[in-house]
């Protein structure tokens, strides 16, 4: 029987409750021994045997904790991850990886110096639509891709009470919130772009931080368009891919998040499977014949992230979500803000030339 990794959760807000805790709770590879909750004890419901501590310092004094998962507000990510790495812990860091590329680079170097794993929680690599699109491209069913468009839209015309992501503080706003998902997906599918042209703006009258973005990444023949906004009541396709042979168009949201918010646990056989009516449309040519049909989605499973992390920690397997990947997302976010401010296309300089694995 393989050993379990003693794990600590730092923070137990909505992100920890929905995106992390359910997968750790049903896993036979992780043992949540400690949770940092400053004032409450809500984690006892899911992890009754875990000890609750009130500060990161108190947690880092525990020798039995091997892995620290940081789910706290964005401005704490760099400091907390740095402290955990220096205390000899492996670290999973929620998105955004950091607020600045300089801080991200420092974390990359600290992880190397301490010889500890530091992994950004880029869980949107494990949703049904992305896994399906990656499979389509690997099979070359669309030919040479010339256009990719990804959307992450919401409709929230009124302020959300107590939403720190919408407050005027470093790392707030929709680009830091949803941008890492779309940017990382583009990098996984197509690698590093040549230039970036961005329009990051405030659309709602009460907004004090950005609530919409339109980013164009140029690869030469290929152009990638990434868009997000908070005033999209009727969303169009979530993804469109167009190539020299055909197109793939996908609507709808991955089913996992809604299930998790309802309290479902990811321990059922059909976890993450999409209904047929949500399958994407494939219109292409194969074997000299034109095909236009619904294309079955691969099931999503955020738990695949933790399975790979365990293999890396225990067996030395290649880590799929690396600290360098986290750095590249933040660097592109900085370039997007700079492009918006300067109102011009910028070269994508300063990115780390690292491998992006096929999931």
What's the pLDDT tens digit per position in 129-173?
Answer: 999 999 999 999 999 999 999 999 999 999 888 788 888 899 999
Tell me: pLDDT of 116 over 90. Answer: yes
Tell me: pLDDT of 211 over 70. Answer: yes
Of residues 167 and 56, the one with the higher pLDDT is: 56
Query: How sure is the predictor about 179, in pLDDT bands with cuts at 50, 70 and 90?
Result: very high
Tell me: pLDDT of 225 over 90. Answer: yes
Average pLDDT over residues 340-350: 98
Tell me: pLDDT of 359 over 90. Answer: no
Q: d(Cα 191, Cα 353) in Å, to the nearest integer?
A: 9
Three-state SS for 223? strand
pLDDT value at residue 161: 84
Pairing status of strand 5-10 against strand 67-70: parallel
Torsions phi, psi for 179 (to 5 deg): -55, -45
What's the pLDDT tens digit per position in 76-99?
Answer: 999 999 999 999 999 999 999 999
Tell me: pLDDT of 100 over 90. Answer: yes
Three-state SS for 157? coil
Average pLDDT over residues 51-76: 96
Tell me: pLDDT of 316 over 90. Answer: yes
Average pLDDT over residues 239-255: 97
Average pLDDT over residues 57-82: 97
Tell me: pLDDT of 224 over 70. Answer: yes
Average pLDDT over residues 216-222: 98
Average pLDDT, the chain: 97
pLDDT value at residue 163: 83
% of the chain beyond a pLDDT of 70: 100
Query: How sure is the predictor about 344, in pLDDT bands with cuts at 50, 70 and 90?
Result: very high
Per-residue b/e over 170-199, b at no fewer than 16 CB within 10 Å? ebbbbbbbbbbbbbbbbbbbbebbebbbbe
Minimal CA–CA distance to 149: which of 234, 75, 242, 213? 242
Q: What is the DSSP letter of 350?
A: S
* 57 CB-near residues (< 8 Å, 6+ apart): none
Q: d(Cα 47, Cα 37) in Å, to the nearest integer?
A: 13
pLDDT value at residue 191: 97
Q: Six-digit token pair at 13?
A: 């807000």
pLDDT value at residue 165: 84
Q: Six-digit token pair at 208?
A: 């004090």
pLDDT value at residue 1: 67
Of residues 286 and 294, the one with the higher pLDDT is: 294
pLDDT value at residue 252: 95
Is residue 151 within 8 Å of 187, Cβ to Cβ?
no
Which residue pairs, CB below 8 angstroms and at least 24 apart, start in 310-313?
310/5, 310/27, 310/29, 310/30, 312/117, 313/5, 313/66, 313/67, 313/90, 313/117
How far is Cα of residue 147 from the mean position of the Cα atoms in its chain?
Answer: 22
């Amino acid at each position: 029987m393989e050993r379990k990794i003693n794990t600590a959760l730092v923070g137990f807000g909505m992100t920890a409750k929905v995106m992390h805790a359910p997968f750790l709770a049903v896993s036979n590879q992780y043992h949540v021994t400690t949770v940092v909750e400053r004032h409450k004890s809500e984690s006892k419901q899911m992890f009754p045997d875990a000890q609750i501590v009130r500060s990161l310092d108190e947690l880092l004094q525990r020798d039995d904790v091997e892995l620290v998962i940081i789910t706290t507000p964005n401005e704490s990510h760099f400091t907390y991850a740095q402290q955990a790495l220096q205390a000899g812990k492996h670290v999973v860091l929620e998105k955004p990886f950091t607020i600045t590329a300089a801080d991200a680079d420092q974390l990359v170097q600290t992880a190397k110096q301490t010889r500890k794993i530091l992994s950004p929680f880029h869980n949107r690599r494990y949703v049904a639509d992305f896994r399906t699109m990656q499979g389509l491209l690997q099979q070359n069913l669309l030919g040479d891709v010339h256009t990719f468009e990804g959307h992450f839209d919401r409709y929230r015309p009124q302020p959300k009470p107590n939403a720190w992501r919408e407050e005027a503080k470093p790392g707030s706003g929709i680009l830091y919130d949803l941008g890492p998902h779309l940017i990382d997906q583009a990098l996984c599918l197509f690698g590093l772009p040549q230039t970036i042209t961005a329009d990051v703006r405030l659309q709602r009258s009460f907004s004090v931080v950005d609530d919409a973005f339109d980013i164009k990444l140029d690869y030469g023949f290929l152009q990638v368009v990434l868009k997000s906004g908070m005033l999209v009541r009727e969303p169009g396709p979530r993804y469109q891919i167009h190539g020299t042979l055909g197109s793939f168009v996908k609507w709808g949201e991955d089913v996992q998040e809604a299930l998790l918010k309802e309290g479902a646990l990811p321990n059922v056989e059909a976890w993450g499977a999409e209904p047929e009516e949500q399958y994407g449309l494939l219109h292409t040519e194969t074997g000299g014949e034109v095909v236009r049909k619904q294309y079955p989605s691969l099931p999503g499973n955020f738990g695949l992230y933790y399975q790979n992390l365990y293999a890396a920690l225990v067996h030395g397997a290649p880590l799929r979500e690396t600290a360098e990947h986290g750095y590249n997302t933040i660097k592109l976010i900085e370039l997007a803000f700079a492009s918006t401010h300067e109102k011009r296309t910028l070269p994508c300089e300063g990115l780390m030339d690292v491998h992006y694995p096929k999931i």
